[in-house]
Structure 1
Amino acid sequence: MMNPEPTGKTCSVIIADDHAIIREAIRDLLDNSAANDSRPYTVVATAENGLEAIAAVKAHQPDLLFLDISMPLASGAEIIHDIRRWSPDTRIAVFTGISAAGVLAGVVEAGADGLFSKALPARDMVTKLPLLLSGGRYVAQEFAELLRRGQQSGALTARERQVLNMIVAGKSNKEIAGELYISPKTVEKHRASVMNKLEAHSVVQLMARALQDGLIDPSPASMG
């Protein structure tokens, strides 16, 4: 069982999101929760992009970071990796609208302590802060389900991921074999394995599942 946080100790907070309205909403929630919380929160800095977030954490070494993982200049797991290097004791509460299982899994593996959905009321996130600050971890239920569903896709080998991206790009087995210096028969085995792991029965289904799980880059350049 986790030990409760010391009464009266102030929790220093950084809020990182590229939308000012969200930064202010979280600040207001923290201010309003102070009356009923044994550990009041003090916002020491805000950031509107990934590089600002990393710099602010490095400068302030906060107890808690609210982090949107989809921001300009730096995003996702790369921010968390840098934060863990500069301020390993900072607790990281990620809040996001992203639903790609591959991206979410990467964030959790990078060291996020909490994973919350922007589709849910922000006050729900604030109620979980004592758990995070006492050393616990929390993943929103809808994300936990996505991560469970994405476990199969996460089991793709590096070669299978290569084949997947080439299939989605419209390449034939012969073309894939030529680029990877393997036989068409081996390509067919990889294709069958990928289709099975992602529970896809057509290339269209395969593309949809791969995009959903964050296994391919959805930009036009990657699709041509």
Structure 2
Amino acid sequence: MTTNANRAKGVFASGSGEKIRILVVDDHELLRDGVVAFVNRQPDMVAVGQATTGTEAIEAYRQLRPDVTLMDLQMPGMSGLDALEAIRAFDPKACVLVLTTFTGDVQATRALRAGAAGYVLKNTLRRELGHAIRGAFQGHRILHPEVAQALALSSDQEELLPREIEVLALAARGKSNKLIAHTLGLSEDTVKARFRSIFNKLDVTDRTHAVTVGFRRGIIDL
């Protein structure tokens, strides 16, 4: 029997041990409820729990041990990527399928390196989501075509260094070279040198374009 305490934590009785048991992690209530409703309409699946933050996701995973975890990436507090890494550290066999709006190759690469079973976009058709869940459960690597294309196109591009990402993130917040230098404790010449490297690696010619590409590829977050 499901207790009131469990309901408060988003934990549900599975109803059948033969179904694919799924944990849904997303901070957007309407989307999360929609995914849960979709899952529970499938004859071979059941949503056994939900979480709204990365921290809740880790706790729920430890308690429920779902077959598949659907994980959003951008959430308040601990990110989905950090939660994915923590869950995989706790259980290296954990099947975590990223469900996100980000098509960027950098976010996808980080998730896959952390052990994600796949990377699926939220705007995917529900039928495709069902296939993705079943495929991940069966041990297949799942990639949305847009993400696979982004990964292929960026495969020969040099990655930004952490110190370059810091500069780009500050530029995205509208900070001038002088303010970036002050914030990071650098000289303006060093900041300019890092921008030259960033422009070269991203194949752009100015800060605005660099920031745009940074957001699109998932190098920096909003």
Q: TM-score, normalised by structure 1?
A: 0.75
Q: Is the Cα contact below 8 Å between 1:150 and 1:213 reproduced in 2?
A: no
Shift in Å at residue 155 of structure 1?
Answer: 1.6
- Which one-letter code corresponds to 1:28 in the other structure? A
> Residue 42 of structure 2 aligns to a residue in which SS?
helix
Q: Is the Cα contact below 8 Å between 1:84 and 1:111 reproduced in 2?
A: yes
> Residue 128 of structure 1 aligns to a residue in which SS?
helix
Pairing partner for 2:125 from 99, 121, 124 = 121
- Are 1:105 and 2:109 counterparts? yes
- Matched with 1:130 is 134
- Are 1:205 and 2:209 counterparts? yes
> Residue 140 of structure 2 aligns to a residue in which SS?
coil
Distance 1:88 1:205, change over 3 A: same
Quote the sequence identity (%). 25
- Matched with 1:4 is none
- Are 1:171 and 2:177 counterparts? yes
Per-residue CA distance 1:91-145 (angstroms, 9 max, x = gap): 1111111234332322222111121111121221111223211211111011122
> Residue 96 of structure 2 aligns to a residue in which SS?
strand
- Matched with 2:40 is 31
Higher Cα Rg: structure 1 or 2? 1
Q: How far, CA to CA, are the matches of 1:136 and 1:187 in structure 2?
A: 43
Q: TM-score, normalised by structure 2?
A: 0.76
> Residue 35 of structure 2 aligns to a residue in which SS?
helix
- Matched with 1:215 is 219
Tell me, which stretches of 5 or more residues in structure 1 are unaligned?
1-7, 35-39, 219-224
Shift in Å at residue 30 of structure 1?
Answer: 2.7
Pairing partner for 1:79 from 65, 75, 83 = 83
- Are 1:60 and 2:64 counterparts? yes
Superposed counterparts of 1:142-153, under 5 Å: 142-151=146-155
- Are 1:42 and 2:46 counterparts? yes
Distance 1:217 1:15, change over 3 A: closer
Per-residue CA distance 1:44-67 (angstroms, 9 max, x = gap): 212222222111101111111111
Distance 1:188 1:125, change over 3 A: same
> Residue 34 of structure 2 aligns to a residue in which SS?
helix
Tell me, which stretches of 5 or more residues in structure 2 are unaligned?
1-16
Matched positions, count: 203
